[in-house]
Each structure stands twice: as structure tokens, then as C-alpha cells.
Structure 1
Amino acid sequence: MLVDQRVQQEAADIIAAGAEDAAERARQAVLVAELRAIPDPDNRQTATADCHDYEHSPFTGPGKGCLASFLMCLGCTNARIHPGHHARLAHLHRALTHLHSAQPLPVWEADWGEAHARLEDLKRRLGEPVWAQALARVTDADRDLIDCLLTGVLDT
């Protein structure tokens, strides 16, 4: 069907619209979590950040605790990121980048695009030297945790 000029033109318009939509969503999906130099012992640890107020999540109703995916933590005002998270988050960023090449763009965008955009924002804020150091510090425990996160084991 792509040899038909009309179909080619329609496909180009659809692809361009999808790319524009993806770019707009990425611009909106910025890091909301607060960056900290040290952890706060009163915060609750999660798979991706520390949570300052688990009982009052902007994603769920009051008194229910947070029921959002751990991928949403970086888009939450309750999230706190300190250097203890950097290696794990750098590894998550790398894993999501690898998934990008293995999945059709619309699927990847729907499942991982916003989380990846937030991690891109974090990478930019921390800077390339800090990010490279974080990648060098990734542990087997970080890899296992991110694998559980990406395969849905932590959602059950």
C-alpha cells in the first residue's frame, strides 16, 4: 500500500502528528521530585525515590496511601531524590533507552515515554559527570530492582 502516493502522504501526516504529540508530552513530563544532598530518615524509601508523604499522594485519594506506579514518583511533589538514588535511576534511564529500540514508538511512548523524559530531565540537572559516576556505581541490587520494576513484579 505504501507505493500509492496518497497513502504515502497520509502516512507522513500521521507520523508527523504522532511525533509532534510525543515531543509535546515529553516537554510536559519534567522532573517534579525534589533533589536533595542527603536522605531524610523520616521519608519512606521506594524503588525510584524517597517519599516525603506517602499518605497524601497527589495521585490517589486521601487516606489511601500512594497507589501510583513507581515510575510516577519522579513526577510527584512528595518525591525526594538524593545521591543514593542516582545509580539506580541512571540504570533505569539506560534500560528505558534500550527498550526504545526494541519496541514500536507508539508502544514505547505510551509505556515509558514520560518516565524517560523525567529521567532525561534529571540527567540534565545532575550533569554528565555526575551521571557517568552514577552509571559506574550501579550494583547488582540496582539491576535486580529495576528489572523487577520494568517487568511489573513491583506492581503486584
Structure 2
Amino acid sequence: MNTLHRRAPGQNSQATHDRVYTLTDPQVRQAAVPVIAEAAEAVVAEARATVFAAELREEADPADQPTDTADCHDYDNSPCPGPGGGCGASFLMCLACPNARIHPAQHSRLAHLHHSLDNLRTAVHPGQWHSQWEDGHARLEHLKSQLGTAVWTRALADVNDTDRELIALLLNGDLDP
């Protein structure tokens, strides 16, 4: 004997039908798992992509204040104010700030930071990397995709000792406010 599963409300409202019949149906629940997982992964990917808020520039603006990862267009009005004024954010947060400006002179340092975070991923516990470094890495991935492979490869070739020293200090937490 075949049983017909009715998927539309009969004598009930849509809300009652969904709550009492549809949501308790094991087949519906099983079919929903991959759909919900895919949607959650898409939301996370979109959130990470949108946390890159820095503005790309062709050259530095002398009015901007240089930092170790970007130039700051409005240090005194940071979205992450420090206790004594100015910006209280970590340098890894600069790329998420709408005040950040990135120009070609910074590409090598940022490419080296990205490379260093890739290396760090294999050296620390996955939970630690995820909580401390993954968001910064995602912003650098976004920057890398915006600049393109040729620019990024050239930037890695241009890394100098100052870039290496500053990134080492940054990764050790020695430059954070």
C-alpha cells in the first residue's frame, strides 16, 4: 500500500502545517541538513570576504599616517578607539578598517604577512590559528585576489629585511597597542 505524503497544508494554516507536520518529518529534516550547511558556509565565506574594508590606492597620501600594515586615513576617529584616544586595534585588524589605505609600497610586507600566516598555520594548534590568525589571513586572501597573482608574486619577491622584522614583531604581538 502506498502512502501519499501531503506537503501542503490541508485544513491548517501554513505555520501550523510547517510546525506540526513538516518540521517533525524525518525525511524533511534529513533533506534539510545539507541545505542548511551549505547556506551557513556561504554566509561565513561572505562575511570573511566583506571584512576587508581597506581602500586600495595607486600611491600613498602624505596626509595619511603610516602603520605597519596599512596607512591610516583617520587615526583619531577609529572604529576601534583606544583607551587613550586614537586607534586601539591590532595591526592585523587594519585591513578590516574603513580608514585603512593600501598602496603598492605596502604590498611586499602584506604578501610576506600572508606567507607567514600560511606557515604559522602548520606550526600551531588549529584552534589557536583559527581564533588568532584566520580572520587576518582571510582579509589577506581577499587582498591577494584583488591585486592578482602577478602583483602578489612580484610583492613576495620584493620582501626586504625591514618587512621581515616588522612582520616577526607583529606576529609576536610586540606591536599591538
Q: Fold-level match, TM-score > 0.5?
A: yes
Q: Which range moved further: 74-83 or 62-71?
A: 62-71
Residue 89 of structure 2 corresponds to residue 68 of structure 1: yes
Q: For 1:153, what is the secondary structure of its paired residue?
A: coil
What is the deviation of 1:67? Answer: 0.7
The 8 Å contact of residues 26 and 114 in structure 1, kept in 2 or not, is answered as no
Q: 1:116 to 1:64 in 2, by over 3 A?
A: same
Residue 100 of structure 2 corresponds to residue 79 of structure 1: yes
What is the deviation of 1:63? Answer: 7.8
2:150 aligned residue? 129
2:11 aligned residue? none
Q: Distance in 2 between matches of 1:101 and 1:75?
A: 24
What is the deviation of 1:91? Answer: 0.1
Q: Distance in 2 between matches of 1:26 and 1:59?
A: 23
1:14 aligned residue? none
Q: Distance in 1 between matches of 2:123 and 2:84?
A: 39
TM-score, structure 1 length as denominator? 0.81
| CA deviation profile, 1:93-148 (whole Å, cap 9, x unmatched) | 00000011112221101000100000000000000000000000000000000000
Q: Distance in 1 between matches of 2:125 and 2:99?
A: 32
Larger Rg: 2
Is there any run of 5+ residues in structure 2 with no aligned partner, and where?
A: 1-36
> Residue type matched to 1:54 in 2?
Y
Q: How many matched pairs?
A: 138
Q: 1:49 to 1:63 in 2, by over 3 A?
A: same
Q: 1:21 to 1:140 in 2, by over 3 A?
A: farther
Segments of 4+ in structure 1 off by > 6 A? 20-23
2:126 aligned residue? 105
Cα RMSD of the aligned pairs, angstroms, is: 2.2
Is there any run of 5+ residues in structure 1 with no aligned partner, and where?
A: 1-16
> Residue type matched to 1:29 in 2?
R
Q: Please point out which of 21, 41, 47 is paired with 1:28.
A: 47
The 8 Å contact of residues 56 and 63 in structure 1, kept in 2 or not, is answered as no
Identity score, percent: 54
